[in-house]
Amino acid sequence: MTTEVKPSPRERLLEAAAALTYRDGVGIGVEALCKAAGVSKRSMYQLFESKDELLAASLERRTSAYAAALLPAADGDGSPRQRILHVFEQVETQSGAPEFHGCPFLAAQIELKDPGHPASRVARQVKENLTAFFRAEAERGGAKDPSLLARQLSLVFDGGSARAGIGADELTGLLAPTVITLLDAAGVR
């Protein structure tokens, strides 16, 4: 007989923060977070200095899984063009799920407004890492201006994620042609 190990209060808080803030936004109250995690407010404040720190830790915890779900393997095959398109294929697939609410990192930045907020700093780093991925692939692919292309691709990514996240647009058949146009214009192979 195996006994199921119950996640620690810290783990439960991180999970609750990830789920509730993605679904309901960062304005979710401490009571709701604690109730969902099955943890007292006192315990939460013993584990995290503040709700802000909990939000930042929750976003930080999601970064690896987020990158793994979007980016091709670092040592994977494929041309730079294919590797860039892979990212957009992933977000297009993810956007079809009913629980898709856009990029959680972009949403946190938009809602928080304060670039100095601990969760904003985590989110900004994730977005900078994605742009850096696009820039590196654009350089490898011979783009005329890799930095400009990386910024354009980030704009398409964030715009597509946001529009699909609020239900304003369906990404299927929209992202890939847009990205291909940008890649062609930049001369990426």
Determine the average pLDDT of the residues in 54-70. 96
Q: Report pLDDT for 145.
A: 98
Segments of the chain assigned E as strands: none
Residue that has been written with the tokens 């946190």 in this structure: 108
Q: Report pLDDT for 58.
A: 97
Average model confidence (pLDDT) for the chain?
Answer: 95
Q: Report pLDDT for 4.
A: 78
Statement: residue 43 has pLDDT above 70: yes
For the stretch 73-117, pLDDT in tens is: 988 889 999 999 999 999 999 999 999 999 999 999 999 999 999
- Residue 146 parent element (H or E): helix 146-165
Portion of the chain with pLDDT greater than 90, in percent: 94
Statement: residue 3 has pLDDT above 80: no
Statement: residue 1 has pLDDT above 70: no
CATH superfamily of 52-186: Tetracycline Repressor, domain 2 (1.10.357.10)
pLDDT grade for 2, boundaries at 50, 70 and 90: low
Q: Report pLDDT for 76.
A: 84
The whole-angstrom separation of Cα 118 and Cα 91 is: 26
Determine the average pLDDT of the residues in 5-24. 94
What pTM value is reported for the model?
0.93
Q: Report pLDDT for 5.
A: 82
Cβ–Cβ < 8 Å for 58, 21? yes
| Integer CA distances (angstroms), 11 to 48, 49, 59, in order | 12, 16, 13
Query: 3-state class of 152 per DSSP?
Result: helix
Statement: residue 55 has pLDDT above 80: yes
Statement: residue 20 has pLDDT above 70: yes
